[in-house]
Amino acid sequence: MKIPKQIEAISSKWVTYAPFFAEFLLNFSYRETKAIPTCGISCDKKFITLYYNIDFFDKLSQAELSGVLIHEILHVLKASSLRKGNRDHNLFNIAHDIVINEEIHNKYIINGIQLQIPKTDCKFSNIIKDGYKGDLIAEEIYEFLLKQNKKYETIDDHSLLDKLQEKINQNPELQNKIKEIIENAKMRGYGNISNNLKATIEELTKEKLPSIEGLLLKAIQFNTPGKIHKKNSWAKCNRRSLPLQGKKQETGKMNIAIDVSGSCYSQDIISRFFYVIDKISKKFEINLIEFDTEIKNSFNYKKGNWKNIKLSGGGGTIVQPIFDLLKNNKNPLVILTDGEFDYNLKYYNLNPLWIIIQDNKFKIKKGFLK
């Protein structure tokens, strides 16, 4: 759809004074809708699409509409790097809204026009009034919001944003399209935007090291061969009443042991680890083992079961019971622990992948520990 006249008026100024952001407006697709009260960013086929309610746009001043447009562009820049894991997606998006709005509010993009955010609950000053004492960090704000029995209204529709993030993760063509827009935007330059906003963009668009989740996923996939194979089986009778032999795929099997005595674990660490486990749960049938000085529990893991794991937060750790339990088991073994135990172990020819957490950081090791 043709660019709305309100946005066209702003875009024509941005081409000269804020060309980085103008590149996004020129590459967006636009869809007017009454299905949402405000606006939202998502994906329509191969295009990043801004959905908007024209009644909402008509109520905004130029400074407010400029703020909303920058807000949506920053959502695009952040979308491919968000690490929601097993967090509540809506609440995590709200935490990021608070960060984005603070990054935008009262910043300058064109001389004489100070960006404004329309009335919303998602402002840093609001959560400070509600008792928040932390920094402007989305993960910390999210933990605070979890404890609040309060609904925070946003200026845009986050159900659309969730779809965008999902499509970015699944579609390499869309990923490349966004990279192309960013590269072209950088070539156009930043224009007159404030230094704080420029620093935010540079941080979002610089080359990033793989996330902890990405490193974990690669380590587990590389070090735990899938053992997925197809075996002959008899299919149901066809129209000619002939049961024909075919191939049936079997799911691989994996053992995962988690040290529940680990006092150094944070909920964020557990969430990140099991975000990876949940991603591979379709590929593997997972036997989860909980242990401290002994085996506490062993069960067939299903996606989301990690929420029921109780950490004792203290006490000793003895790893040998895991190897005693699995000495005749040939399936891949992953062990999550804080590394505080006697390394003099009898491995029974098992070759574990160790995920060791110290100071809330992962260390990944394979085989015998020394």
Under a CB-based contact definition with an 8 Å cutoff, are residues 190 and 109 in contact? no
Task: Give the pLDDT confidence of 61-81 residue by residue, as tens digits.
Answer: 999 999 999 999 998 888 755
Query: Rounded to an integer, what distance in angstroms lies between the CA atom of residue 39 and that of residue 172?
Result: 26
Nearest to 18, CA basis, from 101, 111, 105, 104? 111
Examine the domain organization and report whether 237 and 315 are in the same domain: yes
Taking the alpha carbons at both ends of the chain, their separation in whole angstroms is: 63
Task: Give residue 177's pLDDT.
Answer: 85
Q: Confidence class of residue 209 from pLDDT cuts 50, 70 and 90?
A: very low
Task: Give residue 171's pLDDT.
Answer: 76
Please calculate the CA angle 265-268-273 and round it to the nearest 5 degrees: 80
Nearest to 370, CA basis, from 334, 338, 332, 339? 339
Examine the domain organization and report whether 193 and 309 are in the same domain: no
Q: Residue 232 — φ and ψ, nearest 5°? A: -70, 140
Of 122-126, 243-247, 312-316, which has the strongest mean pLDDT? 122-126
Examine the domain organization and report whether 146 and 253 are in the same domain: no
Examine the domain organization and report whether 204 and 221 are in the same domain: no
Does the pLDDT value for residue 140 go beyond 70? yes
Examine the domain organization and report whether 199 and 253 are in the same domain: no
Residue 32: HSE in the Cβ half-sphere, 13 Å Cα cutoff: 12
CATH number at residue 263: 3.40.50
Task: Give residue 93's pLDDT.
Answer: 87
CA dihedral 59, 63, 69, 70 (to 10 degrees): -150
CA dihedral sign of residues 105, 107, 112, 113: negative
Examine the domain organization and report whether 103 and 184 are in the same domain: yes
What mean pLDDT, rounded, does the chain reach?
Answer: 82
Task: Give residue 82's pLDDT.
Answer: 57
Task: Give residue 325's pLDDT.
Answer: 96
Q: Rounded to 5, what percent of the chain is helix, strand, coil?
A: 40, 20, 40
Of 208, 241, 268, the position where a domain reaches its end is 208
Examine the domain organization and report whether 192 and 83 are in the same domain: yes
Domain total of the chain: 2
How many whole angstroms from its chain centre is CA 93?
Answer: 10
Of 184, 208, 232, the position where a domain reaches its end is 208
Give the β-pairing of 353-358 and 252-259.
unpaired
User: 290 in helix, strand or coil?
Assistant: strand
Examine the domain organization and report whether 204 and 218 are in the same domain: no
Show the beta-strand stretches assigned E in 302-344.
333-337
Of 154, 180, 208, the position where a domain reaches its end is 208
Residue 112 CB contacts under 8 Å (≥ 6 apart), including other chains? none
Task: Give the pLDDT confidence of 251-271 residue by residue, as tens digits.
Answer: 688 999 998 886 656 666 777
Range of the domain at 142: 5-208
**Bigger pLDDT: 249 or 296?**
296
Task: Give the pLDDT confidence of 92-121 residue by residue, as tens digits.
Answer: 889 989 999 998 888 888 766 789 999 888
Does the pLDDT value for residue 232 go beyond 50? no
Task: Give residue 80's pLDDT.
Answer: 54
CA dihedral sign of residues 139, 140, 141, 145: positive
Task: Give residue 231's pLDDT.
Answer: 43
Question: How large is the average pLDDT for residues 168-180?
Answer: 80
Nearest to 68, CA basis, from 49, 52, 44, 90? 52
Q: Confidence class of residue 230 from pLDDT cuts 50, 70 and 90?
A: very low
Looking at this protein, which amino acid is placed at residue 320? Q
Examine the domain organization and report whether 103 and 154 are in the same domain: yes
Does the pLDDT value for residue 272 go beyond 50? yes
Could you give the C-alpha distances from 109 to 10, 103, 114, 120, 152, in angstroms and in order?
A: 11, 12, 7, 21, 27
Neighbours of 212 (CB within 10 A): 19
Neighbours of 255 (CB within 10 A): 22
Examine the domain organization and report whether 202 and 313 are in the same domain: no
Does the pLDDT value for residue 208 go beyond 60? no
Residue 119 CB contacts under 8 Å (≥ 6 apart), including other chains? none
Examine the domain organization and report whether 62 and 106 are in the same domain: yes
Examine the domain organization and report whether 329 and 200 are in the same domain: no
